[in-house]
Structure 1
Amino acid sequence: MTERATPIEQAALPTFETLLRTVEEMDTPEGFKAELIRGKIIVSPFSKLRHLRRMRALREQLEAHAPEGHIAEIAPFLFRFSAAERAYGPALFVADESAFEGEGRHADGAALSLVGEFTSVSTRDTDWSEKLDVYGRLVPVYLVVDMQGSEITCFWDPSPHGYRSRTKVSFDQPLHVPKPFDFTIDTTGF
């Protein structure tokens, strides 16, 4: 008898909505968050304890200058970016408060007016590439607080090809955040 290769039916890859539902239903360990990155569910730890003081200082400054009806938070919430088939849980965000009136466990990324990510050794590459690309098409302002480089970078003016503008300063230098915020962040003590 001659043996022939027999094709094996490949299981269909899960859809973005299926993966998003899976992330919603996950019981992640305490202190961890789940995100959809490059079509995969990635579980990573929340920010390090030493980031809290900087996160709170930044949140308080942003809250005072947030667009009307927007809130600044460091609470872990998932935001979906359906066109990119991604869902992220930023370290800090400013978003339209109405995005949190629903029953689900994730909000629409279009509600965001600003996202802040605090880099760690494990998330640095994703914050500087993957998230920069996705946020750069929709979110008006993206702050990357580079904890390894002791710098903060502000990206703004999103377009279909990513952010058109950016400014980078070292910690302890002022950083202007453009509209819809239009104020200068005091990074003293970062």
Structure 2
Amino acid sequence: MTAMAHEPLTQEEVLLEGFLALDTPEGFRAELVEGEIVVTPPPDGDHEDYIGLIVTQVIRKSRTDMQFSGNKGLKLGKAEGCPKDHVIPDGTFAPAVLRLYRGAAPWMPCQGVVMVLEVTSTKPKADREVKRRCYARAGIPHYLLVDRETSEVTLLSNPGQDDYRKRSSVPFGEPLTLPEPFAFDLETADFL
């Protein structure tokens, strides 16, 4: 009997294996973004408040019934030379009729997600740039970013290969129009 030689693991495979084996402390989030493992501490109360304000409006006002999931991991496309991105948005929205979150594993595909939500915290540049590219590569139609540092809300849409081609921003206090399937003005006065 001849022993089969195992192919050596690629650097991408080693990184992905190491990432998936991580045991982060309770409340912390580990993500694999463009070939880098990123660990984020638990969010603060203001961060959670912004998310709650948005979720309430989306559920109550959207033309299409929406489901929301907070901190659900998404498997996305990959940047060249990197393993698949494993990103945990602050929130994802999907049409309720799809029941996307039912039975979803810790890392679910992004097909059917119509909008991701991020609220800036300890690493705002990652939300503004790196995650934006990840979501665009994955073809997620809308990316809603609440930027606490600049006090503005931005909706990115029309994803391209590595970025979104359409951007609409308003300062806190001004309404932001969300297109179909939402079709309502997101009020941001309570963000002040």
The structural deviation recorded for 1:46 is 3.0
Secondary structure in 1 aligned to 2:181?
A: coil
Is the alpha carbon distance of 1:102 and 1:22 closer, same or farther for their aligned partners in structure 2, counting shifts above 3 Å?
Answer: farther
Q: Give the whole-Å Cα distance in 2 for the aligned partners of 1:49 and 1:180.
A: 29
Pairing 1:88–2:87 present: yes
Distance 1:57 1:49, change over 3 A: same
Choose from 73, 77, 82 the match for 2:72: 77
Q: Name the SS of the counterpart of 1:154 in structure 2.
A: strand
Flag the structure with larger Rg: 1
Tell me which residue corresponds to 2:58.
62
Q: Distance in 2 between matches of 1:29 and 1:65?
A: 36
Structure-1 separation of matches of 2:99 and 2:20 = 20
Corresponding residue for 2:39?
A: 43
Give me the TM-score of the superposition, normalised by structure 2: 0.81
- Say if 1:114 and 1:141, in contact at 8 Å, map to a contact too: yes
Q: Which amino acid aligns with 2:120?
A: T
Equivalent-residue separation in structure 2 for 1:145 and 1:37 (angstroms): 20
Distance in 2 between residues matched to 1:91 and 1:102, nearest whole Å: 19
Aligned residue for 1:164, secondary structure, equals strand
In 2, distance between residues paired with 1:26 and 1:87? Answer: 13
For 1:4, the equivalent position in structure 2 comes to none
Shift of 1:124: 0.8
Q: Cα distance, 1:70 vs. partner?
A: 3.9
Check whether the contact 2:72–2:92 (CA below 8 A) recurs between aligned residues: no
How far apart are the structure 2 equivalents of 1:153 and 1:94? 16
Give the residue type in structure 1 aligned to 2:125. Answer: D
Distance of aligned partners of 1:47 and 1:161 in 2 relative to their CA distance in 1, 3 Å threshold: same
Structure with the greater relative contact order (CA < 8 A, sep ≥ 6): 1 or 2?
Answer: 2
Contact residue 24 and residue 106 of structure 1 kept, 8 A: no
Q: CA deviation at 1:108?
A: 0.6
Distance apart, 1:136 and its partner CA: 2.0
| 1:170–1:101 CA distance, 2 compared to 1 (3 A) | same
TM-aligned CA deviation for residue 132 of structure 1: 1.1
CA-based RMSD of the aligned residues comes to 2.4
**What is the CA–CA distance in structure 1 between the aligned matches of 2:156 and 2:118, rounded to whole Å?**
12
Cα contact 2:77–2:134 (8 A) shared by 1: no
Alpha-carbon shift at residue 147 of structure 1 (Å): 0.6
Q: CA 1:180–1:111 in 2, change beyond 3 Å: closer, same or farther?
A: same
What number of residue pairs does the alignment pair up? 177
**Structure 1: tracts of 5 or more residues without a match:** 1-9
* CA distance in 2: counterparts of 1:69 and 1:82, whole angstroms: 27
In the TM superposition, what are the counterparts of 1:24-173 in structure 2 within 5 Å?
24-66=20-62, 68=64, 70-73=66-69, 75-84=70-79, 85-95=84-94, 97-102=98-103, 104-120=105-121, 122-137=122-137, 138-173=139-174
Q: Deviations over 1:84-116 (max 9, x none)?
A: 421111112213553323362111122311011
SS in 1 for 2:156: strand
Unaligned 5+ segments in structure 2 are 1-7
